[in-house]
Structure 1
């Protein structure tokens, strides 16, 4: 039988667990013009006491001039009186890389090439990202190096020159490879389900 002191300690621990303090800054990626009360965004806002409908309306109005569905890293600052401020950044580097390469998926293994872009693409992406607050004081050359590093991790090759006919042929072959990989993944999942 637990002593009185231990029971009191458990009660105070339960009280502390019920009062979880969330940080005043929430970092999420929300598709432009598509903020909705559905998970995962709705519950995250609700936990911080933000009026979900008001937030969704304000975010969707703020991003109305951006292509719907574009992923936007968003910083939401929650004030003590439950008001909030929204700061949106440009889409992630991976989004720009895949758009420039004309591919929807990165490489599934380290050896394959998911797409190709030129050095001009790298420069343009770095130029856009340099306007984001986290990159304010970072030289453009350093941002370019980061973009190249991200491209390599996605399986996107950086080339000096890109011929449109050759690249169109590459994308057709790539589409076939991706379809084959997805079929293999589907078979692996089905085999796993049968084992359970």
Structure 2
């Protein structure tokens, strides 16, 4: 057999190994997968049995706190089966939980929405390193990435946190958040009046 023939044969083997799958990336609340929008239509477009998927997902996440957003990677095979990979909650979720806040700053860099300690940061880094996309990162790289995420949320990283002082800070912050919410609502209503 000639070199070209042998090369062609090995290339055929490579071509046969290719699998055509479609991938879906989405966040699904733990234990709350339902057939309705937005999840139902996404799965329906890929010909996945929505009822079975929801049952499977809810079963896999039954031990987690209900409603926690979980990034999912779903690979759909040509025979309508799927591979479901569930990651840990997003870093922003953990940072906001550690800071005890519901939402981040509207203008990061100009306002502080919350505070977390360095210990919190390292604990979150250890959890986030379990996700396959972060598997090759060192702890230092993961922590640096989390520092950037905390900054975009307006969360300040401190060495020590006095519980009483922080309680006062959160009370003041609650007033600020409420004022921002009212301001946003007024802008929305003014826009509705202009377009209506």
Tell me the TM-score normalised to structure 2 length.
0.88
**What residue in structure 1 maps to residue 102 of structure 2?**
104
Partner of 1:188: 187
> What is the CA–CA distance in structure 2 between the aligned matches of 1:135 and 1:68, rounded to whole Å?
25
Could you tell me how far apart the structure 2 residues matched to 1:170 and 1:42 are? Answer: 42
Shift of 1:25: 1.1
- After TM superposition, give the deviation of residue 192 of structure 1 in Å: 1.1
The Cα shift of 1:26 comes to: 0.7
Q: Deviations over 1:7-35 (max 9, x none)?
A: xxxxxxxxxxxxxxx95111110000000
Runs of 5+ consecutive residues of structure 2 not aligned to the other structure = 1-19
Question: Which of these residues, 77, 80, 104, is aligned with residue 79 of structure 1?
Answer: 77
Q: Distance in 2 between matches of 1:27 and 1:192?
A: 33
Selected match of 2:66 from 65, 68, 72: 68
User: Hey, what's the Cα distance between the residues in 1 that align with 2:158 and 2:186?
Assistant: 35
Which secondary structure state, in structure 1, belongs to the residue aligned with residue 166 of structure 2?
helix
User: Which ranges of 4 or more aligned residues in structure 1 deviate by more than 4 Å?
Assistant: none
Equivalenced residue count is: 175
Aligned to 1:151: 150
> How big is the shift at 1:68?
0.3
**Mapping for residues 3-82 of structure 1, pairs under 5 Å:** 24-82=22-80
- In the alignment, the residues of structure 2 paired with residue 30 and residue 23 of structure 1 have an alpha-carbon distance, to the nearest angstrom, of 21
Q: Tell me the distance in 2 between the aligned counterparts of 1:106 and 1:150.
A: 11
Contact 2:21 2:77 in 1 (8 A): no
Q: TM-score, normalised by structure 1?
A: 0.88
Deviations along 1:47-70, one digit per CA (max 9) or x if unpaired, are 000000000000000000000000
The alignment partner of 2:26 has SS state of strand
For the aligned residue pairs, the C-alpha RMSD in angstroms reads 1.0
